Amino acid sequence: MAGVTDRPFRQLCKRLRAGYAISEMVGADPRLRHTEKSRRRLDHRGEFPPIAVQIAGADPRMLADAARYNVERGAQVIDINMGCPAKKVCNVAAGSALLSNEPLAAAIVAAVVAAVDVPVTLKIRTGPTPQTRNAVAIATMAEQAGITALAVHGRTRACAFGGTADYETIRAVKAAVRIPVIANGDIDSPQRARDVLSLTGADALMIGRAAQGRPWIFREMEHFLATGDELPPPTVDEARALIVEHLDDHYAFHGEDVGVRTARKHLGWYSEALAGGAEFRREMNAAQTSVEQQAIVLRFFDRLAAESERLVYLPPRSDNAVVRPLQPQHNSLKNRTPWVGEALAA
């Protein structure tokens, strides 16, 4: 979620009942620490705990040093990225490319765990390719090395974000280890959250793309898992207030020029499934100042408020992939903990 889960967005998600939010991926190369982008990614001032920082790289000593560096600057949890499928990450043998080199992956985990006194977690995929899934082997190694919790995205490196998530491999990982396992991939509704927990036996869920433009999905899931009842969408007034506060925080964090430019993607996600969203995005993308951008947001939500008290989402486009219903394998979610952030930071 590099370029998405900056501090303002993490803060918003935590306010809306996400129990845990990990920083954008931070490269382990010390030569990159003093760039403006890196400084922002390492800025946790005022952030709600637990503060978790994700590091990426392919050199065990460099990653161990990066872990120490971030703990000295406030990180309460270190997360190792072995899940990113992006070419620019995998081309330097980092991210999910490490799944193809189990000895190096083991050396990295051992080095980082030994380097710091805070919990170390690991994010992986199910393997390099559908034919070479090795998540269970990686998970077993990680547990033996002292990893505190493991997040598994239900796709291989080769799959990137195509197709549908493979929850059976996550289920196999959960059966193989005793540390908390966090299921990730295609979890985009409260009902799917329930079904994925039931099918995999996972201890928690990790939400990524589904929170883009819909950060209130966390409270919707939390409420549904606790009660079985669906929360209605936010009122237009509440959504407008949350988005304006997000923008204020975003501009303050990134500065005027960068803030206006990078806010466009968030505003695009917020409006993607709303009536008039395409026209709103054209107008908003032409805005050059934060004042213009905010004024356009207010006019858009005033129009929505005149038509409905609550947000009304348009049906998905016909070209969107249809995810098949899951067949739960467990009869109860009793004692299942959907959010584990506080436990990891304890």
Question: 229 is written with which tokens?
Answer: 């009842």
8 A C-beta contact, residue 91 and residue 316: no
Rounded Cα gap, residues 201 and 174, in angstroms: 7
What residues does 121 pair with on adjacent strands?
A: 79, 149
| Catalytic residue list contains 84 | yes
Give the DSSP letter string of 285-315. Answer: HH--SHHHHHHHHHHHHHHHHHH-SB--BPP
Four-point Cα dihedral 91, 93, 99, 101, nearest 10: 130
Of the candidates 188, 200, 199, the one whose C-alpha atom is nearest the C-alpha of residue 224 is 188
**For residue 346, which amino acid is it?**
A
- The DSSP-derived string for 39-52 is HHHT--TTPPSP-E
b/e for 294-328, b at 16 or more Cβ within 10 A?
bebbeebbeebeeeeeebeeeeeeeeeeeeeebee
* Active-site residue, selected from the candidate residues 13, 84, 90, 159: 84
Provide the annotated active-site residues.
Answer: 84
